[in-house]
Structure 1
């Protein structure tokens, strides 16, 4: 049975590049198909009906026609343009950082509905009134979970013993936390504070509403940033 010539999908615009003088290649993260690239013909022309709807980080409803190499966007409707996000430098910077993470960590043609929902919710949660980095760290941790790289935070990744309060180590290469007895130089680990471990454990299994209520010092925020960037 052949696939329909045209299809509709919800998509978050990740990025775009020019194709010739008038067209764009648009990278999308879609609900039904995961990441894909499509052509927006005439999107660079003034007054184009497609142009504004295929700008990152818009959330749009798209109609596409199957093409020989890349599918073609034929119709578009913006469902959320994230105007408050675009009006704030910190928010838009965070938004593009999140889109870049999605782009580099996913492959085309691998649908992941929970990841789509996470991306959409995170973009909605970015606001000028929420200027701390909780939204970023929560997204990074949940992204790892949805991609199958969830760090082990409840027991030592080497000996499987329960972690005791006190000195423990975080090893990106080993995929989680090491107890003092299993920590070795070749694991390239770093110490993890009790507070950081508690926060990461909470964020692994709670929704964003709960995560956002955690009050963090600048020291703890910096530690979490370094831990997630190294992972």
Structure 2
């Protein structure tokens, strides 16, 4: 097995003790996808590796890697932390859920493409105080394609109408115009503004959505709609989502 020394830019999002003094850390990288790092001796008092692998740390990691299986951390450069997330329970919960969603959409070493930038965007925004609920909804909608679920939100799935009032149909895989609401009695029965929000956060590039603001009633409705879309099309069972529910942040 050939192991090469390389530098990767990444974000740490999970870690656990391994053996007596070692650490395993999952890191989301820009080019190598999601990888697991073994940091030997990281829990020893004199080691500096442990501090570089705190959750929500980001920077450059120098690793030995063969392109599959465990990689080994040798050293690190310019590692910082999203302190606002690490120190805040609510921000931490949302950020953990966001990264967990991305983690489950990919296998190890699969290139994340634009989704690495999506993860970084989300953490930057949540860290700086942007509404974490809205950022999470943006990530959930933009991530559907990575799960193989890409709904039609540009036009009515039946007739192609692009203007007017729309509702979302999970069964039909996208939006219905008002002339075709009858086609799915179990459609989500969203208000036009609520459907418009779903369309916007799905269709627009995420870097143009960071400061989107909607009222609490609309946000609650879109949250429930997105939850239903995930439950009925992907059926994930994530501990991070359950934790959000326990905090009553998604009621």
TM-score by length of 1: 0.85
Give 1:118-133 correspondences, 5 Å limit.
Answer: 118-127=118-127, 129-131=129-131, 133=133
Give 1:45-124 correspondences, 5 Å limit.
Answer: 45-66=44-65, 69-124=69-124
Q: CA deviation at 1:150?
A: 3.0
Per-residue Cα deviation, 1:73-98 (whole angstroms, up to 9, x for no partner): 11123433011222222211211111
Structure 1's 69 and 33: CA in aligned 2 closer, same or farther, altered over 3 A? Answer: closer
Q: Is 1:182 aligned to 2:153, yes or no? A: no
Q: Is 1:38 aligned to 2:37, yes or no? A: yes
In structure 2, the residue matched to 1:222 is: 220
Q: Is 1:134 aligned to 2:130, yes or no? A: no
Instruction: Output the aligned Cα RMSD.
Output: 2.5
The answer for unaligned runs of 5 or more in structure 2 is 230-251
Q: CA deviation at 1:127?
A: 3.5
Distance 2:175 2:225 in 1: 11
TM-score by length of 2: 0.79
In structure 1, the residue matched to 2:189 is: 191
Distance 1:165 1:41 in 2: 60
Matched residue SS, 1:156: coil
Distance 1:164 1:180 in 2: 14
How many residue pairs end up in the alignment? 225
CA contact (8 A) 1:54 1:60 kept: no
Per-residue Cα deviation, 1:27-61 (whole angstroms, up to 9, x for no partner): 11111111111211112222321101112111121
